[in-house]
Structure 1
Amino acid sequence: MFTDRTNAGERLGRVLRERGTTADVVLAIPRGGLPVGRAVADALSTPDHPVPLDVVVARKLGAPGNPELAVGAVGADGAVWLNDALVERLGVSEGYLERERDRQEAAVREKLTRYRAGRPPLDLAGKTVLVVDDGVATGATAIACLRTVREAGADRVVLAVPVASPDTVDRLRSVGDQGPTASGASHRPVADEVIAVETPPYFGAVGQYYRSFAQVGDAEARTYLDRSPD
């Protein structure tokens, strides 16, 4: 479906331009989201409106005895999303969740420090922010990242990916951001819009839809942040 992540980002950028989607900031979920995010930021940039690229980081909360199974995710600001149904089915204790959250939140902060290399985070207050990854399977990490962006004061939050599970896209469009409304409840979705180039009906893993899906190393990932919009 896609040659590699850069090709996927270029195709996603074309789709976004055709839809008239604009952004003040593009935030990539590292590491695989950075080549995609770089291509998208370049595609949306104009001479009068260069779109900067930064990162938004979250880590999944692994299930007891099965760290690859996400029972939730946490962002750098402590924003947490839990798969309540899975937590209940597995009988995951509050104590375990607190310990796992603290451990993964520390890992997120360390990763942000490594990627930003002393640069301050971009100001998201009142901005339209595009969150980009190379694909979405369960959506746990994406939800934590989107909530982190909301907490940073973004006015409009859009998730854009080359490929996603159709079931997950439907769920992302309905998940609330847990923020208060005038009535004290939250009805605002975690993302104002979810855009995917492809949503295959028999979705497997994200890597299935790329000819080249090699791991992106930290050194390579940082090069995408060091470049200015083309």
Structure 2
Amino acid sequence: MVATVIEDPALRNRLGVFRDRDEAGVLLARSLESLRGRDAVVLAIPSGGIPIGLAVAAHLNLPFDLLIIRKLPIPGNPEAGFGAISLEGDVVLNRPMVRMLGLSDVQIERQAESVREELKTRDRLFRGGRPPAELRGRTLILTDDGLASGYTMMAAIRQARREGPAEIVVAVPTASLHTIDLLAGEVDRIVCLNIRTGSYFAVAEAYRDWYDLSRDEVVALLRESGFLADDLR
């Protein structure tokens, strides 16, 4: 399998092409028009992928759900990661990074255990105990606000693949070309408006207004969309 990659050539290697996640989500949704009418479901990765996924689901009139995934933070540097882990226990490691950092199995497990607790908390807050969407035989559209190393999305793909979907589509506003190449062998289609080359990549540089979404902001978005009931605490 080698994914079909769809991009906007006019946005290749450009910075600051989206005002914010809301605008990026709307523009991305328009590029997914061919999926309208499919037996499909949008699966967003919290937190930044939620406004993207909500825009796609609303535009295509598709059901929406979440894939609870988190990066594994580097000890002493929580902003950077050496892999990712899903709520279902899928662990994907950036092996070159692990070797460079000299991380032991004990250190990796310590970080993973900490993240597992955060995943459970996010599942309770963001999904409110609702049953997961039925994925078997459907087209799955996995969304995030961008792909840097790609390991979080890789964990999402592996979790989704076990459900027996007909097709997996990765849909993101921005990504590095290296990461597109990394994921191309794992999914059927990748839609990414702003692909950038070079040795340095930051998701935030695709946006003019960028900040990390707080838990309260995520919950508010999910309630506003109707995904979460208003009386959940």
TM-score where L is the length of structure 1: 0.82
From 145, 153, 167, the equivalent of 1:156 is 167
The equivalent of 2:49 in structure 1 is 33
1:100–1:215 distance in 2 versus 1, CA, 3 Å: closer
From 196, 218, 221, the equivalent of 1:221 is 218
Question: Could you list the per-position Cα deviations for residues 120-179 of structure 1 after superposition, in whole angstroms to 9, with x for gaps in the alignment?
Answer: 2212122211010111111121111121112233332111001111111111113xxxxx
Structure 1, unaligned runs of 5 or more: 46-50, 175-188
SS in 2 for 1:158: strand
Asked if the contact 1:23/1:130 (under 8 Å) is kept, the reply is no
RMSD: 2.1
1:201–1:22 distance in 2 versus 1, CA, 3 Å: farther
The equivalent of 1:114 in structure 2 is 125
Structure 2, unaligned runs of 5 or more: 1-16, 228-233
SS in 1 for 2:210: coil
SS in 2 for 1:161: strand
CA distance in 1, matches of 2:18, 2:217: 20
1:197 counterpart = 2:200:
no
Asked if the contact 2:123/2:129 (under 8 Å) is kept, the reply is no
Runs of 4 or more, structure 1, over 6 Å off, are none
The equivalent of 1:209 in structure 2 is 206
CA distance in 2, matches of 1:109, 1:132: 20
1:20–1:5 distance in 2 versus 1, CA, 3 Å: same
- Higher RCO, 1 vs 2 (CA within 8 Å, ≥6 residues apart): 2
Asked if the contact 2:148/2:202 (under 8 Å) is kept, the reply is yes
**TM-fit CA distance, 1:18:** 5.3
- Between stretches 77-86 and 117-126, larger displacement belongs to 117-126
- Between stretches 214-223 and 26-35, larger displacement belongs to 214-223
Aligned length: 209
TM-score where L is the length of structure 2: 0.81
